Structures are given as structure tokens and as C-alpha cells.
Amino acid sequence: MAKMMYRDAVLTTIAEEMERDENVVVLGEDVVGGMGTPGGPEAIGGIWSTSTGLFGKFGADRVIDTPISESAIMGAAAGLALSGKRPIAELMFADFIGVSLDQIWNQIGKFRYMFGGKTKCPAVIRMAYGAGYNAAAQHSQSVHQILTGMPGLKVVMPTTPADVKGLLRQAIRDDDPVIFLEHKALYGVSGEVPDDKDYVIPFGHARLSRAGNDVTIVSTGLLLGFCEAVADKLAAEGIGCDVIDLRTTSPIDEEAILDSVEVTGRLVVVDEAPPRCSLAADICATVANKAFASLKAPPQAVNPPHTPVPFARELETAYLPSADKIEAAVRKVLAYR
């Protein structure tokens, strides 16, 4: 085990997989950075420092710096994947799916089914998402609810550096297209990661980060840490929470959620995307359908409000689900009847 930041887990895993398989290529805006400038290649090395040094190590054929052309980036990833490569395309901000969605949604996600199952499209589309940087409405969104709703795409949302390694490696080796969502407020978080260069985490397997018998809390990404803090606080009061880190939203580990709710009878889902048609709403509905008899209280969803992400510090803080809001939801399900 080694201690590593979330962003370094991304970079290390990409480098290891590029080393292992020459078909793995990286493309995106400024993934090299500095091209065509006096500073020269790698003057930047990726704005998230998740591709630093790859250009020098693997060369221009495999680390492809692109113009700001998100449709063409995603389309190029599609064409590379259909031609035997394993592209890792970086969409600098998840919010930019707006200008590239046709390629992700109508093309990449549909090839396998639409072409009768004979076509593999092993593309990884990485994107930085989430609030916490005061980057406002067009650079702070959580877009998983849109992408999770699209058949054909696997959607991954790692929370810890170790999970980044295991899940990103699985994504790169997977024969289906994978959306890999990296929370930008987690890039600087450190954690222990396995050294094993074949360490993979299969999709659809949630991680139990806290165990308890009174309430089930489901989340992933930045907000998972808030959930853990709430669970730790309540543990001191003798209240036990299962905190489930989903890791992947499609496929989803329904079993882990249902098994937990069967014991606790109480569910709180914490989600960084707006409330309507959200991951939280979806999980609450699933539990209501499939574990109705176990429920001791109505499931609670904790989402931001149905507004764009605001800019100012106080506004963004008020917008995001907080530990206080999560704790209130947990106490609400505990107090029911």
C-alpha cells in the first residue's frame, strides 16, 4: 500500500495501463498542454494534473492534445474504440457534456445494441464534476443523473483514491463505454492505495464505509464524507448507520441497499444532483418497491434544490447538501412515529 492523492491515483492508473497495453491512448483538451506555445509541450500537463508526464513517456501518438472541440473529442474516442484502441477521453468539466452529448448518448452508448451486439466500444470518458470550488452554474454540476439514465453507458463515481485505482483500471479494461466521474473537490484527498498493477474493482459492487443497524445512508463522491461524519457523530449517541458508497450508479448495487434496509428499515439517500428524476429519487423508489415491508419510515432524499449551482461562497454552501442537512434527514427517519 502507498499513500496517494485521488488525482495521482488517476494519473498512476492511466500510466500503468498505458504501459501494459499499447492500445490505450489518451485524448482531450490540454492533456498535454502548452502545444503551440513558447512554453512548449507539457507546460501544463492537464488542468487537473491527471495526465502530467504522459506525453513525455508515451509520445504524441498516444497522448493526443486536442483543440477545444468536445464533440470531436468524444467522436474521435468512438472512432478509436471501434478501430481497436482503448481511448481515455478527458472532458475537462462534466458540464461540457452539453456540447458533446450526441456523441456520448446517440453514438458511443448505442453502438453495441444498435449494431446487434457485434460491436465493442471500449471508450473511457473521464470528466471532473461537482460543486465546492465556487465555479458557478456551468462548471460545478453533477451530471450523473443524466448519464445514468442512458442505456449502454456504465457510470462510475469513485470516492477514495483506492477506488479510483480499482475502478479506473476496470473502466480501461472494460469492453463497454464507461463514464468516469471524478469529483474535483476530491482531487487533493489522500488515501492508501493498493500497489498491485492488476487491482480492479468490478462494477456494481458498493462499499460499506460505516456499519450500523439503525439507518441506511447511501451516497457517493464528495458527499460520502459528510455522511461518514454524520454516522460517526451519531455512533457516539448509540445510533448505528450503514453508510453505503455506491461507487457505480450503473450498474447499481441494488442488493447492497436492499440488504441493508432489510435490517435498518430506514433509508436516507444523499445526492449532489438536483432532486427531480435524481439518483436519490430512483433509489428511494426502488426501496419503496422492493423493500416496502421492511420500511419503518418513508425514505428520505437529500438533494440540492432545483436551481443552477450558485456562485457566491455563502450561496454555494447553502445549495449543497451539508452534514447538518444529512443529520436532519437521518433524525427524521429515526423519529418517524
Partner 1 sequence: MQLSREALLRAYRQMKVIREFEERLHVDIQTGEIAGFTHLYCGQEAVAVGVCEHLSADDKIVSTHRGHGHCLAKGCDVNGMMKEIWGSRDGLCKGKGGSMHIADVDKGMLGANGIVGGGAPIAVGAGIAAKIDGKGAVSIAFSGDGACNQGTTFEAMNMAVVTKAATIFVFENNHYSEHTGFEYAVGTTKDIASRAEAFGMKVWRGDGTDFFSVYETMREVLEYVRVPGNGPAAVEFDTERFFGHFEGDPQRYRGPGELDRIRELRDCLKNFRKSVTDAKLLEHGDLDALDAEVLEAIEESVRQAKAAPRGTAEDVLTDVYISY
Residues marked as catalytic: 139
Nearer to partner 1, 154 or 184 (CB): 154
Assign 47 to helix, strand or coil. Answer: coil
Q: Please select the residue that binds partner 1; options are 90, 163, 176, 253, rule is CB under 8 A.
A: 176
Nearer to partner 1, 153 or 267 (CB): 153
Q: Please select the residue that binds partner 1; options are 26, 44, 64, 171, rule is CB under 8 A.
A: 64
Closest listed residue to residue 165, CA positions, set 195, 121, 190, 142: 195
CB of 67 to partner 1, least distance (A): 6
The one-letter amino acid code at 27 reads L
Nearer to partner 1, 76 or 172 (CB): 76
The one-letter amino acid code at 8 reads D
Interface region with partner 1, contact rule CB under 8 A, candidates 4-12, 70-78, 189-197, 316-324: 70-78
- In terms of residues, how long is the chain? 337
| DSSP, res 150 | S
Which residue reads 488517476 in cell numbers?
10
Task: Compute how many other C-beta atoms are within 10 angstroms of the C-beta atom of residue 79.
Answer: 16
Q: Please select the residue that binds partner 1; options are 5, 9, 31, 74, rule is CB under 8 A.
A: 74
- CA–chain centroid gap for 25, Å, is 21
| DSSP, res 308 | P
Q: Please select the residue that binds partner 1; options are 34, 47, 49, 119, rule is CB under 8 A.
A: 119
Q: Give phi and psi for 5, each to the nearest 5.
A: -80, 155
Q: Give phi and psi for 306, each to the nearest 5.
A: -80, 65
Give the three cell numbers for residue 160. Answer: 477514495
Q: Does 113 bind partner 1 (CB under 8 A)?
A: yes
CB of 78 to partner 1, least distance (A): 5
Interface region with partner 1, contact rule CB under 8 A, candidates 45-53, 148-156, 217-225, 289-297: 148-156
Q: Does 250 bind partner 1 (CB under 8 A)?
A: yes
Q: Please select the residue that binds partner 1; options are 15, 31, 54, 76, rule is CB under 8 A.
A: 76
- 123, 89 in Cβ contact below 8 A? yes
Q: Does 107 bind partner 1 (CB under 8 A)?
A: yes
- 129, 223 in Cβ contact below 8 A? no
Q: Please select the residue that binds partner 1; options are 139, 154, 183, 247, rule is CB under 8 A.
A: 154
Q: Please select the residue that binds partner 1; options are 81, 147, 268, 330, rule is CB under 8 A.
A: 81
CB of 257 to partner 1, least distance (A): 14
Closest listed residue to residue 193, CA positions, set 213, 168, 229: 168
Q: Which residues of 175-191 are buried (b: 16+ CB within 10 A; e: fewer)?
A: ebbbbbbbbbbbbebeb
Number of residues near partner 1 (by CB under 8 A)? 44
Q: Does 82 bind partner 1 (CB under 8 A)?
A: yes
CB of 150 to partner 1, least distance (A): 11
- 65, 73 in Cβ contact below 8 A? no
Say how far apart CA 134 and CA 184 lie, in whole Å: 11
Interface region with partner 1, contact rule CB under 8 A, candidates 76-84, 190-198, 260-268, 316-324: 76-84
Q: Please select the residue that binds partner 1; options are 10, 25, 26, 162, rule is CB under 8 A.
A: 25
Class of residue 259 by CB neighbours under 10 A (exposed 0-12, middle 13-18, buried 19+): middle
Interface region with partner 1, contact rule CB under 8 A, candidates 58-66, 221-229, 236-244, 310-318: 58-66
Q: Does 247 bind partner 1 (CB under 8 A)?
A: no
Task: Compute how many other C-beta atoms are within 10 angstroms of the C-beta atom of residue 224.
Answer: 26
**Residues in the site for partner 1, rule: CB under 8 A?**
25, 61-62, 64, 66-67, 69, 71-85, 87, 102-103, 106-107, 110-119, 151-152, 154, 176, 204, 250-251
